[in-house]
Amino acid sequence: MIKFFRHHLGVKLFFSYLAVILVGALVLGLATRFTLPEAFNSHLGLGMGLGNGQGMTLAPALRFGASAGVQGTGPGRTAVVDLFNSFQASFNEALLLALVAAGVVAILVSLLLSRGVVAPVRILTTASQRIADGHYGERVQSKGSDELGQLANSFNQMAEKLEQVESMRRQLIGDVSHELRTPLTAIKGSMEGLMDGVLLASPETYQQIHQEADRLAHLVDDLQELSRVEAGAYPLDIRPVVVSRLIQTTFKGFAGQAQSKGIELSGEISAELPVFLVDEDRITQVLTNLVGNALQYTPRGGQVTISSRRQGNEIHISVADTGIGIPAESLPHLFTRFYRVDKSRSRQAGGGSGIGLTIARHLVEAHGGRIWVESAGEAQGSTFTFSIPITK
């Protein structure tokens, strides 16, 4: 019985309503017991012409319910006491009936109300159990704006987030397995060719296998870095950094590569650039990524320009190239992980797995900035820009 009581919110609510009704009835009964004689006295005692002080002494006599031993006896007085007793009896009877009626109504109302509370809670319990079983599409209808309605709303928000995380997780596993499969298949194919004697054991074959293994190693490194930046699991070592020095460092790092690819690499640094507060290594990583891409996707004879300027309260750093450009429909997806404009082209061009720009976006956003790309279309070159707020 106690267990049943403990485990059912509806029963608890019902009994608490019942307790309120009983306490109310008790208070009502006690209150009328004390106030009724006074009220009777003032309404009837004086009205009946019981003057010369009798009306004043009637009240205590009635309160104690005795007529004997009280001063001022007489037929008039006995009649009033009798009248009072009859009045009190009929009053009590009416009160009892009213209480029973009120009790019945209150029980019905309390049953309805407790159902109104218990039913949504039951729905939420069922829905959360379904989510726990892996049905992430489960939602509840939220009615009203009271606490239960708010609870249903937050429940739906939580379910939405869980569904997103789950679908991202599935997609990530799919993408990663796909990315791992390509170089693995190539390595396996070459090894089989070697074993069957179809492929010559030439330095080129070994070179090819080594290249694929290298791609695998790169992919694993990128994935590790991606998971770190996506989880925000890296410390930012924020210090004042001179913008021009940061650009020059990157510039120097790529000079050799640009020269060997026959690409003109230049830098435009606006003179009045202030010092900004960033993690130098992380911003260099972003810049390295952008310049690396620009050199990668620009054919021989092209140009790559790094420039920086102040724009209001931000510093904008751009990497522009005269390379293969980006079709308009690809522009919104470029910073999504594993996205490549043309997978085969990117692979032939020595491209990676489409993680670099995603990492760059996370790093820039960790500094409170934004990163975006502009391109007039294929073969029209592209410009990648990121902004970093000056005041933090």
Ligand X SMILES: Nc1ncnc2c1ncn2[C@@H]1O[C@H](COP(=O)(O)OP(=O)(O)O)[C@@H](O)[C@H]1O
Q: Which is nearer to Mg ion, 183 or 356 (CB)?
A: 356
Whether 28 and 22 have beta carbons less than 8 Å apart is answered as no
Q: How far is the CB of 359 from ligand X (least distance, A)?
A: 8
First vs last C-alpha separation in the chain: 62
When asked if residue 294 is in the footprint of ligand X (CB under 6 A), the reply is yes
Q: How many residues bind Mg ion (CB under 5 A)?
A: 3
Name which position in 41, 54, 250, 293 contacts Mg ion (CB under 5 A).
293
Q: Name the nearest CA neighbour of 294 among 306, 283, 280.
A: 306
Q: Which two tokens stand for residue 82?
A: 């009798």
366-385 positions binding ligand X, by CB under 6 A: 382
For residue 206, count other CB atoms closer than 10 A to its CB: 12
Name which position in 357, 363, 364, 371 contacts ligand X (CB under 6 A).
357
- Scanning 135-143, 250-258, 287-295, 339-347 for contacts with Mg ion by CB under 5 A, the matching segment is 287-295
When asked if residue 353 is in the footprint of ligand X (CB under 6 A), the reply is yes
Q: Which is nearer to ligand X, 357 or 371 (CB)?
A: 357
DSSP 323: S
The item of Mg ion, ligand X, none sharing an interface with residue 294, based on CB under 5 to 8 Å by kind, is: ligand X
Whether 391 and 376 have beta carbons less than 8 Å apart is answered as no
Distance CA 184, CA 177 (A): 10
Name which position in 45, 183, 302, 356 contacts ligand X (CB under 6 A).
356
Q: How far is the CB of 263 from Mg ion (least distance, A)?
A: 16
CA dist 384 to 5, 227, 321, 387, Å?
66, 23, 9, 10
Amino acid at 102: A
Whether 286 and 248 have beta carbons less than 8 Å apart is answered as no
φ, ψ dihedrals at 222, nearest 5°: -60, -40
Distance CA 258, CA 300 (A): 9
- Scanning 14-22, 48-56, 253-261, 322-330 for contacts with ligand X by CB under 6 A, the matching segment is 322-330
Residue nearest to ligand X (CB): 352
Q: How far is the CB of 288 from ligand X (least distance, A)?
A: 11
Q: How many residues bind ligand X (CB under 6 A)?
A: 21
Q: Which is nearer to Mg ion, 276 or 338 (CB)?
A: 338
DSSP 150: H
Q: How far is the CB of 145 from ligand X (least distance, A)?
A: 45
CA–CA–CA angle 54, 58, 62 (5° rounding): 165
CA torsion angle for 332, 337, 341, 344 (degrees, to 10)?
-170
Give me the 340-359 binding string for Mg ion, x by CB under 5 A, dash otherwise: ------------x---x---
Q: Which residues bind Mg ion (CB under 5 A)?
A: 293, 352, 356
Q: Which residues bind ligand X (CB under 6 A)?
A: 293-294, 297, 321, 323-324, 326, 334, 339-341, 346, 351-358, 382
